[in-house]
Structure 1
Amino acid sequence: MNQPPLRFLATKNYKNLHLDEPIYLNNLNIFIGPNGSGKSNFISCLKFLKDCLTAIPDENRGVSSFEDAIAKIGGNRILDGNVASPALVEFSYCFSQISQTNNPQRDSVILDLKLYTDQQKGRASISEEYLYGGEDLYDSSNKKRTKSPFYYYKLHERELGQGVVSVYDNPDQTQTHFEPLDNIPTNSLGLFTIPVLLENSQSPPENTPVYRIRRQLSEFISKWQFYNANNMDLNQIRTAEPKLGPSDIYLSPSGYNLALVLDNLNQNIDFDESLNLAMKSIIQKTRRVRPGRTGRLSLAVEWYFEGINEPFYLNEMSDGTVRMLCWATILHSPFLPSLLVIDEPELGLHVSWMPILAEWIKKAATKTQIIITTHSPDLLDHFTDCLENVLCFYSENKTHFFIKHLSKEMLDEKLEQGWELGDLYRVGDPTVGGWPW
């Protein structure tokens, strides 16, 4: 992988995050910082975008995907507590390697959202929305726009419910012009509703640049997967016997479909071998881990050990072992999500497994984009070799949190003295940060 697919995120007036300038991401990203420093809020910005595009609207309650997504991240309480209501909450997402066009000037795509938030009236709605592209819209060193963008659409720019969309002038697709749009809802993301908005357009889909890029973005974002170790239901994982048939290739947030995912992924010979080598690395006498039939239509995970013919089942395995099996299934999958986010994967794991888990994460990050949050100095020790991938959430005023990238230059003197990253985190070294005081 070269340029990370999700290139940066910027926010304004969103809760306690102060990200007026874009935060650039790598293919591997390790988030550190004290509790309440904004790590979960950062991830919520990403979940929000996915939910806006993938959640099914609840027509019975008259709730759109956008309204449901807003409710999940705090509803009308998404506004920074130090900003007077009503006010705009802004999000900016930049994607690279998304647009497969022949025009190099549109290699990056940015989605800008401005949400009108009124706490007294208890609502948040879309105030403005822009989708635009360009090659080097922002310079990562000075965080400034460097070129004029190409706009796929501008929604609610001058008047709510009104907007424009770019349409090609001619078949060679070299020039475009804007055509007006009206009746644009403020309770649905334009990226979600644009196909409906264009149903009455006189131009065919192939003459409207947003059709292709919208489809590519939606497919990319829909494959994002989010996991939180605290939400993994070990009891459900142990006792679940999912039915054969569904084509699940991603573990659910609770992990209940583990056996089904293993059954589907085991059709790939390389995955079967990789998973079993991974399990042998944590329990050396492992012979094989596989999904087995319990009756005609149900599945359970069977764990075979050397010298023992009968399998063990997950209700006979330790919590940490079950967790490691879940992480191995996710990180060794031949069908990695387009973005993988894992909150605190170290929970419940023995310290001796930290270097193994770190290597799994690093290897997966060569194939997809990964965000890991952690409070574990034992896990951080094994990311000392890639400090540029560590982002520290910190506060200067105890009310707003910022993000800084670590680097070898920042810590060079202490690294030469033999310190590891986790050591510096343990003692609260101010250069690394990560402590609440």
Structure 2
Amino acid sequence: MLTTLAIENYRSLRRLVLPLGRLNVVTGSNGTGKSSLYRSLRLLADASRNGAVAALAREGGLPSTLWAGPDVISKAVRRGEHPVQGTVRAGPVSLRMGFASDDYGYSVDFGLPRPPAGAFSLDPEIKQEVLWAGPFLRPAALLVERKGGRVRIRGEDGGWTDGGHLLQTFDSMLSEFADPQRAPELLTLRERIRSWRFYDHLRTDADAPARQVQIGTRTPVLGPEGADVAAALQTIREIGPPGALDDAIEQAFPGSRVQITTDSGRFEVAFHQHGLLRPLSGAELSDGTLRYLLWVAALLTPRPPALLVLNEPETSLHPDLLPALANLVVTAAKDTQVIVVTHSRPFLAALQGGSDELGIDLRLVELIKSFGETTIDGQRPLDEPPWKWPTR
């Protein structure tokens, strides 16, 4: 389980060190940096598949994603005594992201390419990556370190050995370096990050794949667009927690049930609603009903990830469905670490009630913005989890 998430110089996240627990809810008004926090987690996950540099380039390159304010915001500026002005940069251009858990920590440092950069001048370079043992970075805990293209590995005797091959500036050691004999911890961390699962605005429009009849196979993990929702629901019914699917439907729609019909390998949702003479197909379901079924398929997964990140799952749901959705989220947190990004106060209240009922600790993070910088409401410098960035 992640205990700390650290982001520096990514959009409005000039410096954010976030404590994490089993169930985490990130909230705040519009424009406070919730989406930036969500994107930063996705970038960390992309690094394990060598997609972080491409993802940054799609956002306009590193210059477009860097913190746009001054390096230092003085106390006089914060008191309103002076206007915000540019300051002289004290260090190199750097976008840094990292996390720590009880057993391993990892950080990556992106910077600008050195001229001449040629046709790929907007591509950021990975200047440094570090993997360490335990929740805190200290010299004795370093396991694998990458600077530039060189990777070095700490041996059993405490000495360093060369990794053996040179990485390209756009390649992450998480995805492109493998040494199961000398650096098994790197492989462990890679697979753990690759198991992270993100769901963001599942489609329910008229042409949504979830409304169509689809060829089905056993589906323990709902796809990102929800096209395999029927197969995922049937998989939950067969190998998931007994009765969990029916309970989730009953809590949201009393007297209703979901059936999955099959014809020559094609799967379709049939929603039996109290008072109707025939079931409704996926194409006939309301947006809210279909979205709730998608969340049921995602949250009752028989194959829980190491981390499950949900971006505004309450979107398009009627307030009456929020307690049922909150119960699904809190139940999922018994088997996996969950981060929920939301600006809905009713949904937050439902999550707090559900976590109290099931005895799961909920960690609330409320983001605010001051002088363009995202901070955590009520968090003072001494309240931050211990965190130290490696030096280039």
- Whether TM exceeds 0.5 here: the answer is yes
**Do residues 177 (structure 1) and 159 (structure 2) align?**
yes
> Match of 1:18, SS?
strand
Q: CA deviation at 1:368?
A: 0.8
Return the alpha-carbon distance in structure 1 between the equivalents of residues 337 and 24 of structure 2: 8
- Pairing of 1:218-229 with structure 2 (within 5 A): 218-229=190-201
Note closer, same or farther for the CA distance 1:392–1:336 as it changes in structure 2 (3 Å cut).
Answer: same
- Give RMSD over aligned pairs: 2.7
- 1:10-409 paired onto structure 2 within 5 Å: 10-20=6-16, 22-54=17-49, 65-76=51-62, 77-82=64-69, 87-96=93-102, 108-117=103-112, 121-134=121-134, 136-137=135-136, 148-156=139-147, 160-168=148-156, 175-181=157-163, 182-195=165-178, 205-206=180-181, 208=182, 210-211=183-184, 213-229=185-201, 231=203, 233=205, 235-245=207-217, 247-268=218-239, 270-271=241-242, 273-286=243-256, 288-293=257-262, 295-305=263-273, 310-384=278-352, 389-397=363-371, 399-404=372-377
In 2, the alpha carbon distance for the partners of 1:317 and 1:342 equals 23
**2:98 is aligned with what amino acid?**
S
d(CA) in 2 for partners of 1:315, 1:234 = 7
SS at match of 2:149: coil
Identity of aligned residues (%): 24
CA distance change for structure 1 residues 232 and 8 in 2, over 3 Å: closer, same or farther?
farther
CA deviation after TM superposition for structure 1 residue 328, in Å: 1.6
User: Partner of 1:90: helix, strand, or coil?
Assistant: strand
Secondary structure at the aligned position of 2:13 is classed as: coil
3-state secondary structure, aligned to 1:330: helix
Ranked by relative contact order (alpha carbons within 8 Å, sequence separation 6 or more), the top structure is: 2
Structure 1 gap ranges (5+): 55-63, 97-107, 138-144, 169-174, 199-204, 407-437
Preserved contact between residue 234 and residue 322 of structure 1 (Cα < 8 Å): no
Distance 1:382 1:269 in 2: 24
Q: CA deviation at 1:307?
A: 7.2
Deviation of residue 70 (structure 1)? 2.6
Q: What residue is the counterpart of 2:85 in the other structure? A: none
Paired letter, 2:325: L
Does the C-alpha gap of structure 1 residues 379 and 358 become closer, same or farther in structure 2, counting only changes over 3 Å?
Answer: same
TM-score (norm 1): 0.72
Q: Distance in 2 between matches of 1:114 and 1:39?
A: 21
8 Å Cα contact 1:79-1:117 kept in structure 2? no
The alignment covers a number of residue pairs equal to 347
Compute the TM-score of the two structures, normalised by the length of structure 2. 0.80
Q: 4+ residue stretches of structure 1 with deviation over 3 A?
A: 83-86, 118-121, 230-235, 305-310, 383-388
Amino acid at match of 2:160: F
Q: Which residue of 2 aligns with 1:423?
A: none
SS in 2 for 1:255: coil
